[in-house]
Structure 1
Amino acid sequence: MARPSSSSAGAPESRAASIAPKAKRALYRWLPPDRIAIAVRTAIAAMVALAIGAALPDGLSDYAYAAPLGAFITVGTTFFTIARAALQQALGLVLGAALGMAMLWIDIPALAKIGIIGAVGVVLQGAATLGIGASVVPVVAVLVILFGGADPDGYATGYVGQFTLGLVVGVLVNALARPPLWDREAHRRINSAVLELAERFEELADTLRGEWPPEREDWAGWGAELEGWVDALADDVREARESRRLNPRAKFRPHDVERDAEAVAALRAVVHRAIDVLDALSSAAWAEPVAVSIDEAERQVAADAIDALAAHLRAWEELDGIEQASDASAKAIDALYEEAVTRARPESGLAAVVFALRAIRSRIDREAASAASQVQSP
């Protein structure tokens, strides 16, 4: 009796095994844990706000529907942004109610009132203090005019009070329900970016050691991608800094965000000089953007120097063996310099490469030394 083929028997299992990780990644992309946590906090805040609003006396409970509306907008990625948005919304509510009351007192046609409200709303959007709160000013003003009826004061007080109650409840729930901190995540992404940049350097070195001009052309356009990395990291650090502001958890989890900001600045400088290297080498390969010459022997020495810088980057990320990596990088770059000056040719592109590599090495040394001193300090 023939044995079933192992490949055919295992095909369903292998397909299932390959589909599961993809499904997990897709689910994580559409429903990340952070978004779920925000949704849960928002739902809790809305229910609590409605319960409190409905229990208020003296007719205020008639406007309890506005309390969860306030809770719904206390959503954000950091506690500081949530608190700031809530304060801005509260200011906007008060200004909108005052504007609506003023329009009721002024005896002018309804069209003129709407025009004034719209104009004031647009003007207030330029006020940095109000921020997103400026958008609710004309809305609340129109609501007071339309639904205030015989008791516009009571409507304005009830609506604004309940909405503000929802804002306060939302802020308190976010303060108590483990407000997120993004500092460690930002730090991890910076470390990952340093390692990825080291890998790019190693790929470039391998390209220089291969056939020339190389068939692979994508490395010549890495510049925009690398700059995008740095911009994204800068955004991560800004969000990490915001996540610690007014966050009670920050007192129990110290982290130096400014150290991360300095690391991103160092990476930006490294990327800037790396682009100079890419431009020089692509010019040697395809005479774009300008025609320069780098022969085979020079490419081999340049590859060694770039490889040494990759090792230097890894030592910076690990904060281990920095001095040895720096010395090895200096020797490799000096060897490239010697190659350039002993075979001086007007069309050579090595001078630009040597300058950029030395600048990269110097920047890594300064940042690594600063990071090491921070680790050693009490």
Structure 2
Amino acid sequence: MAVDDSSGPFGSSATERPARRSPLPAVRQYLRHPHLLLSFKAALAAGIAWVIAVSMQGVAAEYPYYAPLGALLAIYPTVSGTVKLGLQTMAGLTIGILLAFFAAWIGDPNALTIAFVVGTGVLLAGWLKRTAGGGTGIASAGLFVLIIGNNDLGYSIGYLIQMVVGVLVGLTVSALVVPPLHSDAAVAKLALLRRTAAQQLRDVSDALRENWSSNDQRWGRRRADLSRTAEGAREALNYAQESRKGNVRRRFHPRDLAKDFEHIEVLEVVTFHTLNITNMLQDSIHGTSREPALSEDFKAPLQEAFTAVSNVLTQWTVDGIAGETLDNAEKAMLHLAGKANESAAQEAPFGAAASIAMSLHRILAAVTPSTELPGHYPSTGHDTETPTETPTETPTETPTEQRN
């Protein structure tokens, strides 16, 4: 009798014991995490600053501990951010020292002079931040000089020199040790926004088919998810642009961020109209005291249009929109426009049917190149613009279109 040893606690059956996943990809991903790199650079800068500080001569040699502090204060994830922060720190130190000397001239360190230095330092820091983007460390520098230095010029000079040395070390390490570029992260955020908008159109199609109630919590979750993703994409793109300023690695990793900014503008138009569609559907599936419910004849073509436009969004900027996908979207929009005309004629001149159809048309026009735009749709009677809308249109939100 043959013995099947492929099962049991020591068997090799794939169904009994799944293959163990290698931890290497997760480890690699963690090692590439931006915060880990930032921590390493901060540690390296502090160590180098200390080595330089203890080898200095003169009055600065008495205060070597301020050099690592300066390096720590200057380290920032991006090169341009480090330069800006370093300059702000040095300016703040200078102003703080002068402020402390003025307070010491008034009198010895006491509650009044300390309060004066701290209050004036914070006030100046806030004013400089608004006007010149500076003011870092004014109050702390003033306190150190006033209390520890006690009007000692040697302490002030040593403190300033060591802090400047630390800042310069931080700037050098930030600029030369693997300065990060965040272009890939921005591209990933843009792709996530595109997929989220496409999924939302499929979700509202499901909502229409399943007759979600107007107080269903899924409406709010969908809106919040899409809005949050749009904000994250814009922030990631701005951060990617900042990370390339002064970065020597940009020469080896060229990228046209202008094109990415065009994409985010298009996707923000898509987001705006998708949120409007979500809001209008929430009110019109079952109707309100001011808005009649969508007719049953309109629901099927609307679901078809949601799916067709979602498919166009899914393919946009990836491999190019397939001709069949565009044809399907054109047919769905023509069918929907006809139904919207009927609904507008029978119910209200500015009903949800026509508004939803126009928002879908806006989405399709935004993501479709002008040479590939579908043909003109039958007019709904409420909009005279043609489908030649540029993708950089900036939507103007009105209180009645966007929910808070």
TM-score interval, smaller chain: 0.7 to 0.9
- What are the within-5 Å matches in structure 2 for residues 13-52 of structure 1? 33-52=33-52
Equivalent in the alignment of 1:127:
128
TM-score, normalised via structure 2 length: 0.79
Deviation string for 1:196-239 (max 9, x for gaps)?
Answer: 3223323333443x444579945522223211111111111111
Equivalent in the alignment of 1:91:
91
**Shift of residue 257 of structure 1?**
1.9
Equivalent in the alignment of 2:398:
none
Aligned length: 367
Alpha-carbon distance change, 15 to 233 in structure 1, aligned in 2, over 3 angstroms: farther
Q: Note if contact 2:59-2:157 (Cα within 8 Å) is conserved in structure 1.
A: no
SS of residue paired to 1:253: coil
- The separation in 1 between residues aligned to 2:123 and 2:210, in whole angstroms, is 63
Equivalent in the alignment of 1:336:
336
- The separation in 1 between residues aligned to 2:338 and 2:112, in whole angstroms, is 80
**Shift of residue 145 of structure 1?**
2.0
**Shift of residue 20 of structure 1?**
7.6
- The separation in 2 between residues aligned to 1:367 and 1:234, in whole angstroms, is 25
Alpha-carbon distance change, 332 to 226 in structure 1, aligned in 2, over 3 angstroms: same
Equivalent in the alignment of 2:250:
250
SS of residue paired to 2:180: coil
**Shift of residue 309 of structure 1?**
0.5
Does 2:175 align with 1:175? yes
SS of residue paired to 1:134: coil
- Name stretches of at least 5 consecutive residues in structure 1 with no aligned partner: 372-378
Equivalent of 1:351 in 330, 335, 354:
354
Alpha-carbon distance change, 104 to 20 in structure 1, aligned in 2, over 3 angstroms: farther
- The structure in which a higher percent of residues are helix is 1
Higher normalized contact order (CA 8 Å, seq sep 6+, divided by chain length): 1
**Shift of residue 368 of structure 1?**
9.9
Moved more, 287-296 or 273-282: 287-296
SS of residue paired to 2:137: helix
Alpha-carbon distance change, 213 to 129 in structure 1, aligned in 2, over 3 angstroms: closer
Q: Note if contact 2:214-2:282 (Cα within 8 Å) is conserved in structure 1.
A: no
- The separation in 2 between residues aligned to 1:183 and 1:284, in whole angstroms, is 41
The residue type paired with residue 145 of structure 1 is L
Q: Note if contact 2:227-2:271 (Cα within 8 Å) is conserved in structure 1.
A: yes
SS of residue paired to 1:73: helix
- The separation in 2 between residues aligned to 1:136 and 1:288, in whole angstroms, is 57
**Shift of residue 276 of structure 1?**
2.0
The residue type paired with residue 141 of structure 1 is G
- The separation in 2 between residues aligned to 1:55 and 1:272, in whole angstroms, is 60
Deviation string for 1:113-167 (max 9, x for gaps)?
Answer: 2232123212212212787853421221121122225x71110110111011011
- The separation in 2 between residues aligned to 1:72 and 1:184, in whole angstroms, is 27
- What are the within-5 Å matches in structure 2 for residues 268-307 of structure 1? 268-287=268-287, 291-307=291-307
- The separation in 1 between residues aligned to 2:189 and 2:288, in whole angstroms, is 33
Equivalent in the alignment of 1:153:
153
SS of residue paired to 1:127: helix
SS of residue paired to 1:126: helix
TM-score, normalised via structure 1 length: 0.84
SS of residue paired to 2:179: coil
Equivalent in the alignment of 1:102:
102
Moved more, 301-310 or 359-368: 359-368
- The separation in 1 between residues aligned to 2:109 and 2:70, in whole angstroms, is 32
Alpha-carbon distance change, 138 to 272 in structure 1, aligned in 2, over 3 angstroms: same
Alpha-carbon distance change, 248 to 28 in structure 1, aligned in 2, over 3 angstroms: closer
Equivalent in the alignment of 2:366:
363
Q: Note if contact 1:89-1:132 (Cα within 8 Å) is conserved in structure 2.
A: no
Q: What RMSD, in angstroms, separates the aligned Cα atoms of the two structures? A: 3.6
- The separation in 2 between residues aligned to 1:204 and 1:250, in whole angstroms, is 42
- The separation in 2 between residues aligned to 1:160 and 1:339, in whole angstroms, is 75
Alpha-carbon distance change, 48 to 367 in structure 1, aligned in 2, over 3 angstroms: farther
- The separation in 2 between residues aligned to 1:53 and 1:109, in whole angstroms, is 28
Deviation string for 1:155-189 (max 9, x for gaps)?
Answer: 01101110110111011011111100111220122
